[in-house]
């Protein structure tokens, strides 16, 4: 019932995104420059929450736009109705719906759906990661210099040592390809699928990564914070890799490798 509800909500929201992307909709701005939210974000969120509440009215919900809907439950749904809103608002089809289910503090289910290229990623704790029902695995690269990486930059930029632009500059000056798609959830899915070898970002929220990090883990990868500790989506830093380049990429991110 949990998984079927997750898939129903993810696919319903994805259909709404697909039908709305090139239409006319209101756009407003949250904190920071170009930190957009559209009326489709709110509509997608409503579709998702309505489906969850229909089946599990007592479950806790954490969503990007609605915030926390607290309930006395061991289950929490973590929702990003549109991950990659700037892309969506500009008609760029690199965006998705991302939903995860947490049980007693551990992520047990995750789904990320990009309806524009019909890619549905699903992970279940202990059962693997899948793209359109086919099992996926991370890549087998063993060196950062031979890897293809992906990252993102926060809207409210933090001017700190080894910040996003500084790390990015060091990597690309060594000729290491680093992409920026504009959707952390898709970045993580593509690490899980072996398209990217690693992903790092300095400032994410739980709804950006909750589903994606489970996908990476269940595809055989490794996800930590910047200290190499086991990853929690409730802190801002993330490093997700195929596992084989993880320790080396940590050195790059922390300014310990030039």
- Render pLDDT for 197-221 as a digit per residue (tens, 0 to 9): 999 999 999 999 999 999 999 999 9
pLDDT (tens digit per residue) in 16-59: 999 888 765 555 455 555 555 567 878 899 999 999 999 999 99
Query: H-helix or E-strand containing 207?
Result: helix 206-218
Average the pLDDT over 60-81 and give the result: 84
Look at residue 247 and tell me if it is in a domain. Answer: yes
Instruction: Pick the last residue of a domain from 94, 116, 135.
Output: 135
The number of domains in the chain is 2
Task: Please check whether residues 111 and 181 belong to one and the same domain.
Answer: no
**Where a domain ends, among 108, 135, 162?**
135
> Do 6 and 110 belong to one domain?
yes
Residue 258 included in any domain? no
Q: Which residue has the higher pLDDT, 162 or 116?
A: 116
Q: Are residues 18 and 102 in the same domain?
A: yes
61-82: buried (b, 16+ CB within 10 Å) or exposed (e) per residue? bbbbbeeebeeeeebbbbbbbb
| 117 token code pair | 């290229």
- Work out the burial of residue 154: count CB atoms within 10 Å of its CB; fewer than 13 is exposed, 13-18 middle, 19 or more buried: middle
For residues 153 and 245, the answer to whether their CB atoms sit within 8 Å is: no
Q: Are residues 129 and 6 in the same domain?
A: yes
Tell whether 148 and 116 lie within a shared domain.
no
Rounded distance between C-alpha atoms, residue 187 and residue 195, angstroms: 9
106-114 and 67-69 beta bridge pairing: unpaired
Residues 54, 58: Cα–Cα separation, whole Å: 10
The DSSP call for residue 244 is S
The reply to whether 209 and 95 lie within a common domain is no
Rounded to whole angstroms, the Cα distance separating 177 from 147 reads 7
Output DSSP code: residue 153: -
Residues 152 and 249 in one domain: yes
The model's pTM is 0.93
- 187 and 126 in a single domain? The answer is no
Choose one of 118, 135, 152: the last residue of a domain: 135
Position 45 in a domain: yes
Asked if residue 126 belongs to a domain, the reply is yes
User: Looking up tokens 């998984």, which residue turns up?
Assistant: 3
Whether residues 29 and 119 share a domain: the answer is yes
Spatial distance between the Cα atoms of 117 and 181, rounded to a whole number of angstroms: 15
pLDDT band at 181 (very low <50, low <70, confident <90, very high): very high
Within 13 A of 145's CA, how many CA atoms are on the CB side?
Answer: 3
- Claim to verify: residue 112 and residue 237 sit in the same structural domain: no
Please give the Cα distance from 70 to 146 (Å, whole number). 45
Residues 13 and 83 in one domain: yes
Is 115 found in the same domain as 31? yes
Domain region containing 36 = 2-135
């Amino acid at each position: 019932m949990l998984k079927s509800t997750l898939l129903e909500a993810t696919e319903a929201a994805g259909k709404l995104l697909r039908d709305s992307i090139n239409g006319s909709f209101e756009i407003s701005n949250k904190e920071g420059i170009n930190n957009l939210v559209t009326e489709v974000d709110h509509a997608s969120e409503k579709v998702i929450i309505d489906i969850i509440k229909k089946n599990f009215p007592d479950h806790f919900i954490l969503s990007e736009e609605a915030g926390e809907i607290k309930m006395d439950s061991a289950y929490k749904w973590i929702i990003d109705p549109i991950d990659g809103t700037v892309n969506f608002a500009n008609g760029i089809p690199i965006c998705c719906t991302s939903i995860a289910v947490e049980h007693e503090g551990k992520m047990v289910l995750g789904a990320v759906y990009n309806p524009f290229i019909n890619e549905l990623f699903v992970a279940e704790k202990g059962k693997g990661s899948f793209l359109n029902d086919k099992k996926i695995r991370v890549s087998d690269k063993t060196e950062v210099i031979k890897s293809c990486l992906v990252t993102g930059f926060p809207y409210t930029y933090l001017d700190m040592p080894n910040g996003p632009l500084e790390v990015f500059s060091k990597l690309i000056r060594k000729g290491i390809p680093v992409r920026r798609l504009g959707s952390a959830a898709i970045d993580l899915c593509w690490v899980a699928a072996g398209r990217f070898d690693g992903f790092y970002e300095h400032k994410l929220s739980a709804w950006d990564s909750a589903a994606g990090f489970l996908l990476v883990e269940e595809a055989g990868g490794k996800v930590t914070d910047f200290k190499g500790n086991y990853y929690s989506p409730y802190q801002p830093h993330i490093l997700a890799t195929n596992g084989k380049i993880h320790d080396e990429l940590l050195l790059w991110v922390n300014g310990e490798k030039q």
